[in-house]
Amino acid sequence: MTSKPFSCALAVRDYECDMQGVVNNAVYQNYLEHARHEFLKSRGLDFAQLTAQGIIVVVIRAEIDYRASLRSGDEFEVSVEPFMASAVRLAFRQQIRKRDGGLVMLDATIVTTAVNGRGRPYFPSELQCLLPH
């Protein structure tokens, strides 16, 4: 049985749109990151606190498939589904869907790793709570 992915509701702000009146492609990465940070909070973790503890989590790959464009005022949901991509890589399947009708606007896979004091990748035990049980 699979559980429902974490989801974060957002809305497009005017200043996020380009001259064509659609959300600028780079802004979607902000939406994805915001949802991942909210996901961490939902699991009792805080990104800033992790960093202060020396747990440095970095994005090492972003694969994004743009399906359709969001426009100013559109309301949407960003889903977050974590999985282990390797022994030291935590990845997130993410999707952006419009709230009215559920049209998929974007599919993404974001791969992260934590780096230790020597800059070497590792998977800290503090992140174990992010994985499905």
Among all residues, which ones are annotated catalytic? 18
Dihedral pair phi/psi, residue 42, rounded to 5°: -65, -20
* Burial label, 96 (beta-carbon count in 10 A; 0-12, 13-18, 19+): buried
What are the residues whose beta carbons fall under 8 Å from the beta carbon of 88, sequence distance 6 or more? Answer: 113, 114, 121, 122, 123
Whole-angstrom distance, CA of residue 93 vs CA of residue 12: 21
Whole-angstrom distance, CA of residue 72 vs CA of residue 128: 37
